[in-house]
Amino acid sequence: MRAAGENARYRWLRLALMALAWQVSAGYAQESPLSVEVATKPGSKWVAKETRGLAQAFDGVNVREDKDLSRFGGVTSRREKATGFFHTARIQGRWWLVDPEGCLFLHRGVTSVNRLNTDAARAAFDGKFQTPQRWAESTTDLLRDHGFNGLGAWTDTDAMRAAKQPLVYTKIWNFMSSYGKKRGGTYQKPGHTGYPNDCIFVFDAEFEAFCDEYAQQLSKDRDDPWLLGHFSDNELPIKEDALKKFLALPEGERGHQAAWQWLRKRRGNHATIDDIETADQSAFLEFMVERYFLIVGTSIKKHDPHHLYLGCRFHGGALRLPEVFRAAGRHADVVSVNYYHAWTPDPKRMEMWASEAKKPVIITEWYAKGVDSGMGNTSGAGWLVKTQRDRGLFYENFTLGLLASKNCVGWHWFKYIDNDPTDRKADPSNTDSNKGILNNRYEPYPPLLESMKAINKRAYGIVERFDQDAAK
């Protein structure tokens, strides 16, 4: 009995020392400046990036975990008018989501909360969860335990919504790409749908009627308070030179005809491509983007007037174009951005997004991949780092930048589970990379999750500290 007791004490001591070592390694017991070595892809040069973790954010002063949250995850001490559904509010210069009970709310979610379909992944799933219902409960508990209150795009919302204590979810509908599939002419690109000459079919005479009919399926969840809102598409090709691209389409294309009609109305009947100036391109881009948001947004609100229209997940070069955000903001409730190639969010760019749109912003994709996962990490746009601890530090650094912004109302990490290289049906951007909070056999990455938990569980307190510091 004595030996067994000693063994138990040794095990307890060993676990305690491991926990202390993790706290030190994760930065919670240090205040010194941090840097993380990052690369853009395997084989590229490693570059040190200045990094701010939670321990460095407030000169080592502890921010306590948030308490007294609503069932949705809003902060009960700060309330606005309750409408029974999510809405937005700008309070003392900061944008917020407001939950159905009227509590101020920030959406912290994970995308693609779904099951893998390869043989090995199914075997791991069966051994760990047995049923989809148990998986949904276990996954909900895991996310809640680490401070997440939401679910991003491409999630099995039917399974996850059935959990005993569900998470606030979103839906993605793919209006334009679904129309393109029916119409013909689209093709697969890494991460999103491709269109002829990067020209979406927004000028097709049939597009408006298609959207109205397609949006009828949104009415199924129109009375569900756990639904935050709808994404209309993902990463549409929104190019600075859209006018020239549309004009270069075949003459029989409605987009080609609409572009010429627009240009000659603006510049006269004898205008040619050589007459196009920068101001013309900017004006046409705003016109084209607004037409998309007007058509799709009207259809969404007609069939589901209760939930937020969350935009179409802008990406790439569109993120530097004010006219794109002006157009979107006239019809969307929140502007969504897939934010890559930034180690730290650019406060000036985020301010531009919100000031042009006159709406808040939600970051709907971002991630880093770890070399220590053993994966190839050749696919996808996220940063490459060396360890899971570095992935966690990226999460801390990036979300602290988002919380410091008064225009960001949440974020969705991409994604729930790592790519499975044996999945031959995967999108080209999701083939062999460490993007998940779990590996592709449903095993978690503790260093990453601990950093996520540290920020997520203190999000409202961190905002309060940032706002207090800004007011000094």
Mean pLDDT confidence for 92-112: 98
For residues 168 and 150, what is the distance between their CA atoms, to the nearest angstrom?
5
Q: What was the pLDDT predicted at 33?
A: 75
**Per-domain residue ranges of the chain:** 1-30, 34-471
The whole-chain average pLDDT of the chain stands at 93
pLDDT above 90 covers a percentage of the chain that reads 91
Residue type, 432: D
Distance of CA 227 to the CA centre of its chain: 16
For residues 200 and 186, what is the distance between their CA atoms, to the nearest angstrom?
9
User: How big is the CA angle at 397 (ends 396 and 398), to the nearest 5 degrees?
Assistant: 95
Q: From the CA atom positions of the chain, what is the Rg in Å?
A: 23
Worst-scoring range by mean pLDDT, 13-22, 178-187, 249-258?
Answer: 13-22
Query: HEC profile for 201-245?
Result: CCCCCCHHHHHHHHHHHHHHHCCCCCEEEEECCCCCCCCCCHHHH
Q: What was the pLDDT predicted at 32?
A: 63
Q: What was the pLDDT predicted at 16?
A: 42
The answer for residues whose C-beta is within 8 angstroms of residue 157's C-beta and 6 or more apart is 151, 169, 171
Q: What was the pLDDT predicted at 31?
A: 52
Residue among 120, 113, 102 nearest 142 (CA):
113
| pLDDT at residue 25 tops 70 | no
| pLDDT at residue 7 tops 80 | no
Spatial contact of 230 and 173, defined as CB atoms under 8 Å apart:
yes
For residues 276 and 26, what is the distance between their CA atoms, to the nearest angstrom?
54
Distance of CA 52 to the CA centre of its chain: 21
For residues 89 and 106, what is the distance between their CA atoms, to the nearest angstrom?
12
Q: What was the pLDDT predicted at 3?
A: 39
CB atoms within 10 A of CB 274: 5
Spatial contact of 310 and 230, defined as CB atoms under 8 Å apart:
yes
Tens-place pLDDT, residues 167-176: 999 999 999 9
For residues 18 and 378, what is the distance between their CA atoms, to the nearest angstrom?
33
User: How big is the CA angle at 177 (ends 173 and 178), to the nearest 5 degrees?
Assistant: 65
Q: What was the pLDDT predicted at 11?
A: 40
| pLDDT at residue 22 tops 60 | no
| pLDDT at residue 398 tops 60 | yes
For residues 461 and 67, what is the distance between their CA atoms, to the nearest angstrom?
10
Residues linked to residue 95 through DSSP beta bridges, in sequence order? 90
Q: What was the pLDDT predicted at 13?
A: 44
| pLDDT at residue 382 tops 60 | yes
Tens-place pLDDT, residues 35-48: 999 999 999 999 99
Distance of CA 470 to the CA centre of its chain: 26
Q: What was the pLDDT predicted at 472?
A: 82
Q: What was the pLDDT predicted at 12?
A: 41
Between 120 and 11, where is the model more confident? 120
Q: What was the pLDDT predicted at 232?
A: 98
| pLDDT at residue 60 tops 90 | no
Mean pLDDT confidence for 391-407: 98
Q: What was the pLDDT predicted at 15?
A: 39
The answer for residues whose C-beta is within 8 angstroms of residue 361's C-beta and 6 or more apart is 95, 334, 335, 336, 337, 350, 353, 354, 405, 407, 408, 409
Residues linked to residue 103 through DSSP beta bridges, in sequence order? 79
Spatial contact of 404 and 466, defined as CB atoms under 8 Å apart:
yes
Task: Give, in order, the Cα–Cα distances in Å from 272 to each of 197, 247, 260, 267, 460.
Answer: 19, 10, 9, 9, 54
Task: Give, in order, the Cα–Cα distances in Å from 443 to each of 127, 138, 283, 446.
Answer: 12, 12, 50, 9
Worst-scoring range by mean pLDDT, 57-71, 328-342, 391-405?
Answer: 57-71
| pLDDT at residue 75 tops 70 | yes
Q: Name the pLDDT band for 233 (thresholds 50, 70, 90).
A: very high
Q: What was the pLDDT predicted at 440?
A: 98
CATH of domain 34-471: 3.20.20.80
For residues 54 and 24, what is the distance between their CA atoms, to the nearest angstrom?
13
